[in-house]
Structure 1
C-alpha cells in the first residue's frame, strides 16, 4: 500500500498497476467460470478409476447417442461439422487390427486409441529392444526385453480405458491370419518386409477387408489404401515381387525416427476416415513423403487389374489357396536366417577366436555396406560389400597372397562376416563358385 509520504504521481502509478492486475484477475476468473460451465458434465463422469464398460458404451451407441463421458472426451471431434456425432459413433463401433507394433504401428496405435476406435487388435511376436526407442514411441525403456504387444496394449489402455484392446503375441502366418483378420473391419499393415505385405494383402482380399498400407525407409515414406470400394490391391501394383537386392529393411538400411512417425500417424488418419465414413481415403492414390526436402506428393496409381491373381476377374484365390501359399518362397525373402551353405562352410565365433589366437593365416572379409563398416568393425577386417564382391575378387586374391607372405605359409583361409548372417553366406557361395574353396562364414 502507498504511504502518506509518497508523491501523488507515485500513487497514481500504483493505482494504475493495481487496476491492470484487477483486469487480469477478472479475465482469469471469467475463463475459469467458463471452463467450469464447459466441464459441468464431468460431474457425471464415472472415470475416477471406473470408466464405463464396453457393453455400456455399445448399448448407448445402439440407441444413436453418445454416453456422457464420450461427449466430454471427444468434444473436439464433435465440434467438427464434417465429423460430428455420427463420425464419432461410427468410430466407437469400429474395429481395427494393426499388424506390427514398431515404427509405423506405434503412432498409429496411439492415435487410434486416443481417438476412440472401439476395438483394437495388435499383432507382433517381437520384443522391445533399446534400438527401437528412437522411432517406436509407444514403448518405454521399462519394457525392454518384454513383448511389444504387451507394451503397446498397456500404452493404449493408459490413454483410453474405455476401448477394448486385444493382444496377439504371435507371428502372423497363413495358418492364423484368416481367423484373426475376420474379427476386424479394417487392417493396418505396419510391417517392414515383402512376404508380410503380400500375405496381409491377400488375406484382406479373401476376406474383403480394406487395407491401409504404409512404408518408411531412410528419409522417405509412402502411404496408400488397398482393396477399398473397387480400388486396387497390392498385387495389382506389384504382381511380381521386387528383386531381393531391392528389398531393404530399417534394420539393415536405417531410418530417421520421425519418418515412420509421420507415416504411421497418416495411416491412423486414413483408417479413421474409412471407419467414420468421412473424407476421401487414399484409394487409387499414393502419398509420397520426402523428409529431406519436406515435400509431400500425392500421385495417382493404376486401378484394379482384371488380371490380378488376388482380386482380378478370374482370380481363384480362395482361403484354402491362401493357407497353402509360401510367401517366403514367392518373394525369395527369408524372415529368418537363411540356410544357403553346408555346415562345413560355417564357423562359430568361438572357433574363429581360437584360430586367430593360434595365429592362423586368414583374411576376414566384412561384406556389409561401407557406411555400416564405418560404424563398427572387427580388427584387421577387409570391407568388400557383397554388392561389389564379384567385381573385386582380385582384391581377395591379393589379400590372401599378402597374408601368406606375412605368415610365411600357403593356403590362408577366408572368413566372411555380416550383420545378420545372410549376406555372408551368399558371399561364401559366390567365392566357392570362383574357386576360393577355403571360404567359410562366421
Structure 2
C-alpha cells in the first residue's frame, strides 16, 4: 500500500508521491494555487490508491471527480453490465456501452478525463473470500454499493484491512454520506447494527432515484476522500450528512461508536447477518418460487395441467414496458389497501403467484394476502427475484429497466 492507514483524521492518509511533471503542474494548477492543497497535496493525490465499490449511480461521479483531481490509481469493482435503464443517472456510461462490463466502460470514462490515472478493473462480485485481499491494495474505499449485504461486507473488510471507508447512500430524493474508520470513529455497523427487515427499505430499482442526486452525493464523497488523502479540513468521521433534494436541505447527525459492539475478527458472519431473512421476517421458503419453477408451471397451465393466476403487482407503466405473458395486473397499493378484495373476484378462489420487479413488492403483497389463504386449500406464493430473474433465467430478449 502507498498510504499509512493508521494515521488519524486531520493528518494526511497518503505520503507524497514523485515530483509533478510539467503536464501535471499545468493540469492541476487550480489545486496548486490553493495553499491547503498545493504541490504537496497534489503529490499525495498522485500517490493515492482508491477503490470504488460499484460503477453505478454513486460510483460514476465519484470516479469522474477522483480522476479529474489526479488520484494516481483507481480500482473499480463491479460485475454488472451496462443497461439502458442505467443511463438516467450513471453518467460514466453511454449508449455505445450497452451490454459492456461496467468496469470497462468506467475505465474508458476515466481515460477520457485523465489518461495519467491508472485503473485497476475488478470485474468480480465482492465476497467474503476476496474482499480483504482486494482492499489490501488500496488506501481507502469509496462505497457506492446499493444493497445492505455489500455495505456490511465493505465495512467489515475495511476494518480488517485497516483503511477508512467513504460511504454514500441514495434513494428517491434522499442522500446520506459518512466516513467510517475503525479505531478513529464509528463504522457502518455502529450506524446500522442490524439490516432492516426484508421489504422495509426498497432498493433503488424498486423505489427509484432522482437522476441528479447521485452527482450531488457522489461529489461530496469525493470531497471527503480528497480531504482524507491530503489531510485537510475536518472529515465526516463520526458524523452523518443527510441531504433532502426536494427541500434542498442538509443536516448533520452525530454518530457514536458502540463500545459493546463485538469486534470484527473475520468475515465469516457477513453472509449470515446480511443474507436471507429468518422465516418470520418475510415469506417462508415454501412461499418463494424461482423463475424456472414458474416457467414450468406456466407451461403446465397452458396444457391444462395446472390452475393458478399469476398476479403482477407493479405499476401500469412497468407492465407496459415489460411483462410475463399471462400475468394479471393488480397494483401493490390496491392489495395493501384492500387485501384479497383487490383481486378480481374470479381468481380469489384459485392459487395465486405474485411477482414484481425484484421481489420486494411481491413479498409485501404476499404478507397482505397470507391471512386470506391461511384457512383455504388454495396457496399464495411469490417470485423471489421478480421479473429481473425471469429475464435473466428465462427470456433475456425482454427489456430491462
Unpaired runs of 5+ in structure 1?
1-60, 310-314, 402-410
Corresponding residue for 1:94?
48
C-alpha separation between the residues in 2 aligned to 1:143 and 1:350?
Answer: 34
Cα gap change, 1:439 to 1:305, in 2 (>3 Å): closer
Corresponding residue for 1:392?
339
Moved more, 124-133 or 284-293: 284-293
Corresponding residue for 1:365?
311
Q: Would the aligned equivalents of 1:93 and 1:118 in 2 still touch at CA under 8 Å? A: yes
Deviation (angstroms), 1:351? 5.3
C-alpha separation between the residues in 1 aligned to 2:289 and 2:226?
Answer: 54
Q: Would the aligned equivalents of 1:198 and 1:327 in 2 still touch at CA under 8 Å? A: no
Corresponding residue for 2:34?
80
Corresponding residue for 1:58?
none
Residue of 378, 382, 390 corresponding to 1:437: 378
Aligned residue for 2:241, secondary structure, equals strand
Residues 143-191 of structure 1: CA deviation (Å, up to 9, x unaligned): 1111000110111122111121100000000000000001100001010
Deviation (angstroms), 1:424? 4.2
Q: What is the root-mean-square deviation of aligned Cα atoms in Å?
A: 3.3
Q: With structure 2 as the length reference, what TM-score do the two structures score?
A: 0.79
Corresponding residue for 2:241?
287
Structure with higher Rg: it is 1
Q: Would the aligned equivalents of 2:334 and 2:342 in 1 still touch at CA under 8 Å? A: no
Residues 273-311 of structure 1: CA deviation (Å, up to 9, x unaligned): 10111111111111111111222x2313222221122xx
Aligned residues: 359
Higher helix share: 1
C-alpha separation between the residues in 2 aligned to 1:184 and 1:365?
Answer: 47
The answer to whether structure 1 residue 417 and structure 2 residue 365 are counterparts is no
The answer to whether structure 1 residue 170 and structure 2 residue 107 are counterparts is no
Corresponding residue for 1:325?
269
C-alpha separation between the residues in 2 aligned to 1:412 and 1:232?
Answer: 51
The answer to whether structure 1 residue 135 and structure 2 residue 89 are counterparts is yes
Corresponding residue for 2:330?
383
Cα gap change, 1:268 to 1:366, in 2 (>3 Å): same
Corresponding residue for 1:304?
257
Q: Would the aligned equivalents of 1:242 and 1:331 in 2 still touch at CA under 8 Å? A: no
Q: With structure 1 as the length reference, what TM-score do the two structures score?
A: 0.72
Aligned residue for 2:88, secondary structure, equals coil
The answer to whether structure 1 residue 208 and structure 2 residue 155 are counterparts is no
C-alpha separation between the residues in 2 aligned to 1:126 and 1:333?
Answer: 24
Residue of 215, 219, 222 corresponding to 2:176: 222
